[in-house]
Structure 1
């Protein structure tokens, strides 16, 4: 799709949230995790303008700003990602302080850090533009809101950069997948993966990469982090859709702090915590094996009971790491009254839990457990896992 210079370049992107089914925390230490894309999505609208104004609107954080393109270039000149990461972020922060006189919350500041990180890593822009991001995902609860934001933001800047270079037709980056949905070619996805991971470092310090990878590619994903930068990824195809109740404790927490606490615990008790992490590894690998053999008669009769048991086992090990919370424990106790398995997902310490709903779960049981969870003060959504990753919804 070619755009004449007189016609503003516009497009809409979206990316899902994610939950980790098995392996949060162990994935940080190079062990496998099994994650799935949520049906809840983050949506981005990009529109070029001729006014020389950069307009950002991040509705979930009540953040809307306009910047003069010339000011942005002046404040961020000489800021390069290849310098010391801490010094680089300090320079970006200094530029934000110069541009924004109003005090920002930590979440708002981090989103602007990610925005200007993407901005200065792409071409020098000669025209203004608007980026508006809306999300169905709650912020800071462990369902990938920051990674979903990072993926659509990175993709938008890289797509616009490609358009400005004029070296190829932008439509050559787009392909129609097996479900008839327009996503992107692998080479472009790889570039988005790199940039979105660096954005995630702004939000979380030392992320594993499982969030942005799952959100970028969608479906169910087995993921293993590599310290050498060559992460292992395997898409898991299943016959049936995995359904869950996604339960928000409404308890805020910091993933960065919780991960650091687990690192400190591992440093104090390396042998004990390594064995806990190895247990999580075995659980994740067993879960992958169960999903892979779901279609066979040998597996189908034990699928429901074994998969549910693995969920409870994984949560028990997360308790050992100290990342549960009384609200999470109450959710798990309520689910168990209905013979359903549940666990925390994401960073823990609050945030989200999920309740696994086997295919044979009666509608009345789902209604009853949902009612009891909501009457206990929790927010509950029935959702499915394994949908599309980053997609382009529309060239306008």
Structure 2
């Protein structure tokens, strides 16, 4: 059955890292020193072989802005990036180090593989081999099985639910590593942090897949950008290359993802997507001039099943075909109207009239979704609070039945009301995220050195220890320089 959004249960960075002991961190620091990975010697191994310096990639999460559920029935939907992001730090070890380590401290995942023990022969077979420039769109089940054998001992001592999350993340990473890398790859540490909440329809797994895909393609020098003078066609080609391999990562976990999450995480801004024929990929088009808009995301923390919500609408369509058909058609018209509004030359995100027109469509879309029975009392509570505060326009996003609500913020809204609303949402047990809608997609900090706001000579290096010890969203964003309030020099984005 088609799912409205992909998810794999990988949690976000919501506090201090909990997956690495102090001893393990000290071992990493010692390994870096012994292998010449200090600031002055990070470009060469003990044998003199050039190595890639530590670098970082980042990609955003996403929300469905218009068209939930209607998209399952062949209508159009709109999705856009948000400023909640994943970040992957890649640290190359010396040539004598023959291991790769995957570190996701926010979920307690830490695993190391010996490079020479991995099933390279399976991936080198002429009938199986895929190349970085292939526009891949499917998995090879034989290769998946070969890869799974090397994830069975990942977190084997943990409870089944947590172990499954870890093994899914490891499978995505390892399949991509084997597909894009080779046995001659140097040893590496791959360390990931994320500020995207999980299980709420915000594209956390796709964002991680884009980071892994981009990092591996950079390591094999299959990407020439991004750079300011890069031709648009070349930039688009490289974004699509990252996107296709990230989709493969999603296939490892979800089986039949729509491909929308990874597309937004790769290209940023906003897209429309439509899938009238489930035997074919969806038709996805970028809205290139989509404006950056202030957005409040509120997580109800209410568990729900996407499949159950989709089935609920399918049942309603079966018992009330005419009425349900009209509602789905109306949602489609709302989406089309929203595209016209944000694409018009006269749209101004700072103009109350422009935003009011878009906001009306937000309200109508939610009302139509509620009439399909996919809202929830907690989602309606959020709407009640935001409407009373008069700060913006609120709707559910994703499958509904829980999950998240999004509020498009009105220009010049009263900050005292915002503060009161924040207190009310906290008191109700909701988790809120101040974000921006429609920002950049995948980006790279190469090398992992920020240029400004630093007392360090030449800029501030983002090393393993700093990255692991950054606390929560604010700590990560302050350190790496990307996010709602951090725009530091050094980062470059494919556009």
Question: Following superposition of structure 1 onto structure 2, how do residues 353-364 of structure 1 map, counting pairs within 5 Å?
Answer: 353-364=405-416
- Over 3 Å counting, the alpha-carbon distance change for 1:108 and 1:30 in structure 2 is farther
2:394 equivalent to 1:368: no
Q: Secondary structure at the match of 1:173?
A: coil
Whether the aligned pair in 2 keeps the contact of 1:294 and 1:303 (CA below 8 Å) is no
Distance across 1 between alignment mates of 2:80 and 2:356: 20
Whether the aligned pair in 2 keeps the contact of 1:8 and 1:47 (CA below 8 Å) is no
2:171 equivalent to 1:106: no
Distance across 1 between alignment mates of 2:382 and 2:207: 26
- Over 3 Å counting, the alpha-carbon distance change for 1:253 and 1:387 in structure 2 is same
- Over 3 Å counting, the alpha-carbon distance change for 1:111 and 1:259 in structure 2 is farther
2:62 equivalent to 1:18: yes
Q: Secondary structure at the match of 1:223?
A: strand
Unaligned runs of 5+ in 1: 164-169, 179-183
2:110 equivalent to 1:64: yes
Compare 216-225 and 16-25 and name the one that shifted more: 216-225
The superposition leaves residues 327-375 of structure 1 with CA deviations (integer Å, 9 ceiling, x where unpaired) of 1121112222234421111232322111221113222222222222222
TM-score w.r.t. the length of structure 1 is: 0.83
Map of 1:189 onto structure 2: 239
Whether the aligned pair in 2 keeps the contact of 1:142 and 1:348 (CA below 8 Å) is no
Question: Following superposition of structure 1 onto structure 2, how do residues 333-344 of structure 1 map, counting pairs within 5 Å?
Answer: 333-339=384-390, 340-344=392-396
How far did residue 309 of structure 1 move?
A: 2.1
Out of 237, 254, 258, the residue aligned to residue 289 of structure 2 is 237
Question: Following superposition of structure 1 onto structure 2, how do residues 255-334 of structure 1 map, counting pairs within 5 Å?
Answer: 255=306, 258-259=309-310, 262=313, 272-293=323-344, 295=346, 302-334=353-385
Q: Secondary structure at the match of 2:119?
A: helix
Unaligned runs of 5+ in 2: 1-42, 129-135, 449-495
Distance across 2 between alignment mates of 1:261 and 1:89: 33
Map of 1:391 onto structure 2: 443
Distance across 2 between alignment mates of 1:161 and 1:261: 46
Higher strand share: 1
Whether the aligned pair in 2 keeps the contact of 1:60 and 1:139 (CA below 8 Å) is no
- Over 3 Å counting, the alpha-carbon distance change for 1:96 and 1:388 in structure 2 is same
Map of 1:124 onto structure 2: 182
How far did residue 138 of structure 1 move?
A: 1.5
Distance across 2 between alignment mates of 1:204 and 1:245: 28
CA RMSD of aligned residues (A): 3.3
Map of 2:203 onto structure 1: 144
Distance across 1 between alignment mates of 2:183 and 2:429: 48
Q: Secondary structure at the match of 1:365?
A: helix
Map of 2:217 onto structure 1: 158
Compare 34-43 and 66-75 and name the one that shifted more: 66-75
Q: Secondary structure at the match of 1:341?
A: strand
